[in-house]
Amino acid sequence: MGPSSSCCLVLITMITVAMITANSYVHAQRGSGGGGKCIAAERAALLSFKAGITRDPAKLLKSWRGDDCCSWSGVRCSNETGHVVGLDLRAAFFLSNETFVWCFSGVAPNGMLGEISSSLLALKHLKHLDLSGNYLGGVGLPMPSFLGSFKSLTYLNLACMNFDGRLPPQLGNLSRLQHLNLATYQENTMRPGDVSWLRHLGLLRFLDMSGLNLTSNGDWVRLVTGLSYLKVLQLGGCGLSLPHEPTAHSNISSLEILDLSSNRVDTINPAYWFWDVRTIRELQLGRNQITGPFPAAIGNMTSLEVLTLGGNYISGVKSEMMKNFCNLRWLELWSNEINQDMAEFMEGLPRCTKSSLHILDLSATNITGGIPSWINHWSNLRSLQLSANKLEGLIPLEIGKMTNLSTLYLDNNQLNGSISEEHFASFICTRQNGPQFPLWLKGQRDLDYLDISDAGIADDLPDWFWAVVSKVDYLNISCNQISGKLPATLEFMTLAVTLDLNSNRLTGLLPQLPQYLQTLDISNNSLSGPLPLMFGAPMLTQLVLSINKISGTIPSYICALKSLEVLDLSDNFLDGKLPRCSNGSEAKQELNMSPDSTQMQLSALILYNNDLSGKFPEFLQHCQELTLLHLAHSKFVGELPIWIAEKLPRLSYLQLRYNLFSGSIPVQLTKLENLRYLDLAYNRISGSIPPILGGLKAMIQGNSTKYTNPLVWNYYRPRNPNDFNDGYYVKYHNSLLVVVKGQELYYTSTLIYMVGLDFSCNNLGGDIPEEIASLVGLKNLNFSHNHLTGNIPEKIGLLRYVESLDLSFNMISGEIPSSLSDMASLSYLNLSFNNLSGRIPSGNQLQTLGDPESIYIGNYYLCGPPLSRNCSGPEVTTGLLEGHRTEETYFHLGLAVGFVMGLWLVFIGLLFLKTCRFRYFQPSDKLQDSIQTSVLKTSAEWFHRSQRIQNKKGQGQASVSEGT
Ligand SMILES: *[C@@H]1O[C@H](CO)[C@@H](O)[C@H](O)[C@H]1NC(C)=O
Ligand SMILES: *[C@@H]1O[C@H](CO)[C@@H](O)[C@H](O)[C@H]1NC(C)=O
Ligand SMILES: *[C@@H]1O[C@H](CO)[C@@H](O)[C@H](O)[C@H]1NC(C)=O
Ligand SMILES: *[C@@H]1O[C@H](CO)[C@@H](O)[C@H](O)[C@H]1NC(C)=O
């Protein structure tokens, strides 16, 4: 590594146990509770509840049969009375335990679907009810008010159930409650309204309302400070601010855990604190808008174990003020101002933190100097994050002695020297570590997160590798040159949710996949053979296998993947017809799916560069969410379906070039209001261009920002090794082949800025409809190589965003409309080989376009500059080629089309060749701004930078309004 190169990002062995603990906890609580004999009426009530469940993927209710309901899993009866007193149906694999909840947006991967039957009311003695993580709400389904009738409840957990609308105020009747969890994810539609009913729940010890919008509850501080037994209060992401007034009477003298992260708190003034500084153990204020100086009064919180202030604008943070923090385990200060030498900062921390501190995040805090060699005195550090500072000098070898360290980020500094295995006894800096596979991994057994992407590893996958990663939930080895054969099955990776193996040299067949897998990317490898008939992973949402050597047909198992959103099998050797996905498909029966559940979630189907055949895929009629369909370069035949507009209302990109489609362009196609890119080039389409183009509203409005881009999705990446909740999303971009200006290019997320119509190389006749001029959002228009007649529409100049216009090789006659010179964005124009006549308009952009001869060649009667033919004189034949189209000229010109100069710079920002998808860790939004300003230097990096998502509980497909 050169002296100026900054050390790469390092991320290693996250020995996280959150998920595993959560599961074992769940199982411990379940079990056949009590021995009491089941009461018939209660058994009936439970069976009615079961009847309301339409889907139970984890088979939580499998044991619910037989007479003794007390022995059913999740049901607990009282030994004395026999009544059901506990119902614990928390979704398995749902990442939650007592203090932390992580809500997925939408359905928890393994949660039940259905509704809560009011028959449960028969369980009059219920004390404990936990339904968290199950999708028993949904659009139009609020939390049922009858839940307020379980008067004996002491424990109620309804977190992450996706209810709609208001919280029922009847919850205020549950006066015995000690534990109430209503956390949800932030983007949901729940509007809690006035929650003053909380004041009746005077026994509460635990309250979690994270993610609920409580902005309208102005007196929330008074409300919660009235709950005098409260120990844990979690109000992350509730839109709350801390009132600028001293708290009158605070009854809470036992509050130990307070989470106000991701809110609108703007002050850290001790005068407004409502908690008791002596009892508070965990204070989470990260991702707020706190400005101002770091208060000395912080030092009075002597019990503090966790302090997270990251993502604020606090100045003058001084470690001296923390000198009483002897129990400090976790200190997170990223994106505030420390402005100190690192050694000075570390010296200011009390001695006792040397054994207590587990997590230290000082990313983007403007710390300077070198990393002190005595950093290893903090021997229990598991996570040390120093990204984006002004650290310089060598990386001390002592870091290698920190045997507990499992996460180290040093990226974005001015550190120099190389990182060698000597530095890392138990972990390693990945980049430029190669070419060998990191041996330190061998023997690791508790990894649950492994990212060694882009580390320059050029080696075989060692035998022991799969044993090491058998418990990971996230595995990323992408962008290396790792070779070796994939095992026949990965089912032993029972916890895996995300596997990113893209851009390596892996061979073999697609393995059987882990049961809970959601995202799989093995693109750009050397997989071969056919896809297995069934390959597991019923919850897959993204399956990306592009650029491999996979052959055979696409199995009908695809139809059974009901959560699948992105399917990219492009650039393979697949052939045959697509599956029909009809009701009776075998795969579906195998999976026990109800036969009428034909709807699929697909939003992107990307199959280009294969040998697929058959008609336009019928099963797409069940894919209402489909946004992008890319079937180019295959052998599809037949007519385009007329159901397209009705069944695919969201379709935005339709790429069908280089197929054998025939028939005419269905008028229904022009009703696709979201269609932005329509490419039918190189087919056998005949008839005329439908004149009713006004229905293509997305081509009229131009850029729309409220748009979900199926090519962009997020990975969750935990920040801290022992808290899966605290993480951020890494934005992931797929790329896509698009043809513009005669060149095939790969586009990524910026595809949404492309608006185009390409009907080139077909058999279309008739006139170019005048209405084309209404599609003012167009950037690319190509009708070349057809039999179009008539004139160029007079108003074509209204298309002022068009960058590329190609009408060559038609039979268009008349003059070139003078409005053409109004097309200010034009950088590529081709009108060659038509019957155009008269004077060539001049002005603006037209003068700057490339070779004038190739633009106008083959039009006998055109005259005036830039041609040498004079308009006033008699019509003469110039030295230009003769008008008949020989095969030869066709060929030569075809080559020339790809060679375009013009205003290429305009497009640089959009262009991206598919190589690796680098991900960058961005510790702060401030930092991100500075990254954005350096975009022009490294546009590829820009596309792949990771995007911190502000709210830790947010999730889901990103709508691409950010970026440019
Ligand atoms: C109920 O019975 C079970 C098993 O017989 C026993 O483990 C449990 O402690 C009993 N609970 C009470 C409250 O008596
Ligand atoms: C919940 O998670 C926290 C943090 O990981 C842990 O300290 C605590 O023991 C867990 N609780 C249970 C009941 O598993
Ligand atoms: C929260 O609710 C308030 C009004 O109650 C509303 O103005 C605001 O937009 C909501 N915030 C979010 C993020 O929905
Ligand atoms: C810390 O608490 C003590 C005792 O209540 C108080 O006298 C002192 O002013 C506090 N320190 C700060 C900096 O607020």
Closest C-alpha to 157, from 73, 91, 213, 93: 91
What digits encode the pLDDT tens for the residues 767-802?
999 999 999 888 889 999 999 999 999 999 999 888
Flag the least confident range among 54-58, 125-129, 170-174, 934-938: 934-938
Flag the least confident range among 289-293, 754-758, 900-904: 900-904
Q: How far apart are CA 504 and CA 525, in angstroms?
A: 5
The label of the residue with tokens 């009746």 reads 200
**What mean pLDDT value characterizes the chain?**
76
Measured from the CB, is residue 215 less than 6 Å from ligand 3? yes
Closest C-alpha to 805, from 765, 756, 762: 756
Taking CA atoms only, the protein residue closest to ligand 2 atom 7 is 99
Q: Phi and psi dihedrals of 775, rounded to 5? A: -85, 65
For 733-764, the DSSP string reads: E--EEEEETTEEEEE-GGGGG--EEE--SS--
3-state secondary structure of 379: coil
Tokens of 549: 């050597």
Task: Tell me what pLDDT residue 628 has.
Answer: 86
Flag the least confident range among 87-96, 600-609, 613-622, 650-659: 87-96
- Long-range interactions of 890-899: CB distance < 8 A, separation 24+: 890/809, 893/808, 893/832, 893/833, 893/854, 896/854, 897/742, 897/806, 897/830, 898/742, 898/743
Identify the residues whose C-beta falls under 6 Å from ligand 4. 270, 296-297, 300
Flag the least confident range among 21-25, 406-410, 869-873: 21-25
- pTM score, two decimals? 0.55
Percentage of the chain modeled with pLDDT above 70 = 73
Q: How far apart are CA 846 and CA 52, in angstroms?
A: 67
* Range 674-684 average pLDDT: 90
* Residues counted in the chain: 964
| Cβ–Cβ < 8 Å for 122, 162 | no
Q: How far is the CA of 164 from the centre of ligand 3 (A)?
A: 15
CA 367 to chain centre: 32
Q: How far apart are CA 430 and CA 8, in angstroms?
A: 7
Which ligand minimizes its atom distance to the CA of 102?
A: 2
Taking CA atoms only, the protein residue closest to ligand 1 atom 6 is 34
Closest C-alpha to 83, from 125, 41, 141: 125
* Range 261-284 average pLDDT: 92
Q: Is the pLDDT of residue 420 over 80?
A: no
* Range 583-590 average pLDDT: 48
Closest C-alpha to 389, from 361, 413, 370, 407: 413
| Cβ–Cβ < 8 Å for 290, 261 | no
Q: How far is the CA of 277 from the centre of ligand 4 (A)?
A: 10
Q: How far is the CA of 99 from the centre of ligand 2 (A)?
A: 6
Query: What atom in ligand 2 is closest to the CA of residue 723?
Result: 5
Query: What atom in ligand 4 is closest to the CA of residue 270?
Result: 14
Query: What atom in ligand 4 is closest to the CA of residue 295?
Result: 13
Domains 34-196 and 436-564+580-601 share a fold: yes
The type of residue at 400 is G
Q: How far is the CA of 20 from the centre of ligand 2 (A)?
A: 11
pLDDT band at 580 (very low <50, low <70, confident <90, very high): confident
Helices (H), 614-696: 644-647
What digits encode the pLDDT tens for the residues 501-559?
988 999 999 999 999 899 999 999 999 999 999 999 998 989 999 999 999 999 999 99
Q: What is the dotted CATH code of the domain comprising 436-564+580-601?
A: 3.80.10.10
Measured from the CB, is residue 239 less than 6 Å from ligand 3? yes
Within 8 A by CB and 6+ apart from 885, the residues are 809, 833, 858
Query: In a mutational test of the pocket of ligand 2, which residue from 98, 101, 723 has the highest number of ligand atoms less than 8 Å from its CB?
Result: 98
Taking CA atoms only, the protein residue closest to ligand 4 atom 1 is 300
Tokens of 263: 């809110």
Q: Which of 105-109, 135-139, 264-268 has the highest mean pLDDT?
A: 264-268
The label of the residue with tokens 């229990």 reads 380
Task: Tell me what pLDDT residue 763 has.
Answer: 94
Q: How far apart are CA 557 and CA 589, in angstroms?
A: 10
Q: How far apart are CA 355 and CA 224, in angstroms?
A: 35
What digits encode the pLDDT tens for the residues 626-642?
988 999 999 999 999 99
Within 8 A by CB and 6+ apart from 463, the residues are none
Percentage of the chain modeled with pLDDT above 90 = 44
| Cβ–Cβ < 8 Å for 717, 729 | yes
Task: Tell me what pLDDT residue 865 has.
Answer: 78
Q: Is the pLDDT of residue 79 over 60?
A: yes
Which ligand minimizes its atom distance to the CA of 22?
A: 2
Residue 351, judged by CB atoms within 10 A of its CB (0-12, 13-18, 19+), counts as: exposed
Query: What is the DSSP code (8-state) at residue 856?
Result: H
Q: Is the pLDDT of residue 340 over 90?
A: yes
Query: What is the DSSP code (8-state) at residue 708?
Result: B
Query: In a mutational test of the pocket of ligand 4, which residue from 300, 302, 303 has the highest number of ligand atoms less than 8 Å from its CB?
Result: 300
Question: Is the bond into 852 cis (omega within 30 degrees of 0)?
Answer: no
Within 8 A by CB and 6+ apart from 882, the residues are none
* In the chain, where the domains are located: 34-196, 436-564+580-601, 603-789, 813-871, 874-925
pLDDT band at 572 (very low <50, low <70, confident <90, very high): very high
Burial 745-758 (b: 16+ CB within 10 A, else e): bebbbbbbbbbbbb
Which ligand minimizes its atom distance to the CA of 321?
A: 4
Q: How far apart are CA 548 and CA 623, in angstroms?
A: 26
Query: What is the DSSP code (8-state) at residue 555?
Result: P
Q: Is the pLDDT of residue 424 over 90?
A: no
Q: How far apart are CA 555 and CA 552, in angstroms?
A: 9
Fold (topology level) of 34-196: 3.80.10
C-alpha atoms less than 13 angstroms from C-alpha of 136 in its C-beta half-sphere: 24
Flag the least confident range among 702-711, 744-753, 884-893: 884-893
Q: What is the greatest pairwise CA distance in the chain?
A: 113
Taking CA atoms only, the protein residue closest to ligand 3 atom 11 is 213
Which ligand minimizes its atom distance to the CA of 237?
A: 3
Taking CA atoms only, the protein residue closest to ligand 1 atom 13 is 79
Taking CA atoms only, the protein residue closest to ligand 4 atom 10 is 297
Taking CA atoms only, the protein residue closest to ligand 3 atom 3 is 215
Taking CA atoms only, the protein residue closest to ligand 4 atom 11 is 297
pLDDT band at 601 (very low <50, low <70, confident <90, very high): confident
Query: What atom in ligand 3 is closest to the CA of residue 186?
Result: 13
Return the higher-pLDDT residue of 2 and 288: 288
3-state SS of 487-515?
A: CCECCCCCCCCEEECCCCEEEECCCEECC
Measured from the CB, is residue 330 less than 6 Å from ligand 2? no
Query: What is the DSSP code (8-state) at residue 682?
Result: S
| Cβ–Cβ < 8 Å for 245, 219 | no
Q: How far apart are CA 469 and CA 14, in angstroms?
A: 11
**C-alpha to C-alpha distances, 112 to 137, 141, 427, 543, nearest whole angstrom:** 10, 15, 39, 23
The helix/strand count (H/E) of the chain reads as 15, 51
Taking CA atoms only, the protein residue closest to ligand 3 atom 7 is 215
| Cβ–Cβ < 8 Å for 554, 569 | yes
Measured from the CB, is residue 288 less than 6 Å from ligand 2? no
Which ligand minimizes its atom distance to the CA of 306?
A: 2
Q: How far apart are CA 332 and CA 516, in angstroms?
A: 32
Q: How far apart are CA 111 and CA 245, in angstroms?
A: 43
Residue 86 CB coordination number (10 Å)? 21
Tokens of 873: 């004189």
Classify domain 603-789 at the CATH superfamily level: Ribonuclease Inhibitor (3.80.10.10)
Taking CA atoms only, the protein residue closest to ligand 4 atom 9 is 297
